[in-house]
C-alpha cells in the first residue's frame, strides 16, 4: 500500500470514529434509510403511477444523496475548517486532494450504502427488481459523486456551520424538486429541459433501469443523455470547488 493510500485510510478511519461516537448521528445514519425504505414499500405499493417504482425509488435516492452526502459533507468540511483542523492537516504530508477525499469519503460511502439498502428493500419487499442493475448502480454512483463535489464547493460560500445549514438547503430542495417536476413527463421520461437538471437525469436513469420492456442495449443507449447530464453537473461542481473552496476561516 503506497503512502497516499495509507494517508487516505487514516483520514477515513478518523472521520468514521468521529461519526460513531455520536449516537444520534450513527443511529440516524443506519436506521433512517431502512425506515424510509420500509415506508416507501408500505405506502407506494398501492399508489404507483405510470412510472411504477421508478419515481418513489428515485425520490429516495435523491433524499439519501441530498441529506447524507451533500448536507453532511458540507457541514463536515465547514466544521473542520472552523476548528482549524483543515489548516493543521495541510501542514502534514497529505496532499490537498488526499485531505478532501479522506474527509468526504465517509458521507460518500454511507450515502452509497444507504442507496443500495433502499434498492434492496424495494427489491425484496416491493417486490420490484430493476431490469438493469448496472445502469441503476451507475446512476447512484454518479449522483453520489455529484453531491460530494457540489458540497465541497458549497463550503466555500460560508464561514460557519450555522451558515452551512442554510447554504445547503437550496440545492437539496432543488434536487428533490427537479425529481418531482421531471415525473410530470410520465412514462416517456423527462423533456429536454427537465433532463438537463440533476433530479431529472436521476429519475430518467432510474426509469430506464426499471423498464423491463427495453433490452439492456436500448436502456444504456437511451440513458446516455442522462449520464452526460450528471457527469456535466459533477464537472461543474469540481470546477466550482476548485475556485471556491477555502482552507482557512474567513477573517
Kindly state the average pLDDT of the residues 22-29. 58
Cβ atoms of 107 and 73 within 8 Å: the answer is yes
How far, in Å, are 7, 64, 142 from residue 198 at the CA level? 32, 14, 10
**Tens-digit pLDDT profile for residues 151-166:** 999 999 998 888 888 9
Instruction: Cell numbers for 43, please give them.
Output: 405506502
Q: Percent of the chain scored above 90 by pLDDT?
A: 52
Most confident of 34-43, 102-111, 155-164, 236-245: 236-245
Instruction: Cell numbers for 47, please give them.
Output: 399508489
Q: How confident is the model at residue 27 (pLDDT cuts 50, 70, 90)?
A: low
Cβ atoms of 172 and 66 within 8 Å: the answer is yes
SS3 content of the chain, % helix, strand, coil (to 5): 80, 0, 20
Task: State the pLDDT at residue 24.
Answer: 55
Most confident of 40-54, 80-94, 148-162: 148-162
**Least confident window among 14-23, 132-141, 182-191, 230-239:** 14-23
Instruction: Cell numbers for 18, please give them.
Output: 468521529
Task: State the pLDDT at residue 46.
Answer: 67
**Tens-digit pLDDT profile for residues 184-235:** 988 888 999 999 999 999 999 999 999 988 899 999 999 999 999 999 999 9
SS (HEC) of 22-37: CHHHHHHHHHHHHHHH
Residues 40 and 221: their CA atoms lie apart, in Å, by: 29
Instruction: Cell numbers for 202, please give them.
Output: 436521476
The Cβ-side half-sphere exposure at 55, using a 13 Å CA radius, reads 22
Task: State the pLDDT at residue 25.
Answer: 55
Whether the pLDDT of residue 75 is over 80: the answer is yes
Is the pTM higher than 0.75? The answer reads yes
Average pLDDT taken over every residue of the chain: 87
Amino acid at each position: 500500500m503506497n503512502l497516499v493510500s495509507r494517508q487516505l485510510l487514516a483520514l477515513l478511519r478518523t472521520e468514521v470514529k468521529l461519526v460513531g461516537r455520536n449516537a444520534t448521528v450513527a443511529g440516524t445514519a443506519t436506521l433512517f434509510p431502512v425506515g424510509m425504505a420500509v415506508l416507501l414499500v408500505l405506502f407506494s405499493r398501492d399508489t404507483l403511477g405510470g412510472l411504477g417504482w421508478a419515481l418513489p425509488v428515485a425520490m429516495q435516492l435523491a433524499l439519501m444523496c441530498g441529506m447524507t452526502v451533500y448536507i453532511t459533507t458540507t457541514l463536515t468540511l465547514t466544521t473542520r475548517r472552523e476548528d482549524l483542523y483543515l489548516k493543521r492537516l495541510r501542514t502534514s504530508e497529505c496532499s490537498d486532494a488526499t485531505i478532501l477525499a479522506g474527509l468526504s469519503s465517509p458521507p460518500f460511502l454511507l450515502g452509497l450504502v444507504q442507496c443500495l439498502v433502499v434498492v434492496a428493500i424495494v427489491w425484496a419487499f416491493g417486490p420490484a427488481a430493476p431490469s438493469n442493475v448496472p445502469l441503476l448502480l451507475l446512476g447512484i454512483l454518479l449522483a453520489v459523486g455529484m453531491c460530494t463535489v457540489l458540497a465541497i464547493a458549497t463550503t466555500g460560500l460560508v464561514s460557519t456551520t450555522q451558515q452551512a445549514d442554510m447554504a445547503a438547503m437550496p440545492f437539496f430542495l432543488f434536487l428533490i424538486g427537479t425529481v418531482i417536476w421531471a415525473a410530470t413527463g410520465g412514462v416517456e421520461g423527462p423533456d429536454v429541459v427537465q433532463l438537463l437538471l440533476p433530479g431529472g437525469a436521476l429519475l430518467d436513469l432510474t426509469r430506464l433501469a426499471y423498464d423491463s420492456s427495453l433490452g439492456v442495449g436500448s436502456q444504456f443507449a437511451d440513458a446516455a443523455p442522462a449520464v452526460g447530464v450528471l457527469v456535466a453537473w459533477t464537472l461543474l461542481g469540481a470546477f466550482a470547488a476548485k475556485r471556491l473552496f477555502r482552507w482557512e476561516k474567513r477573517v
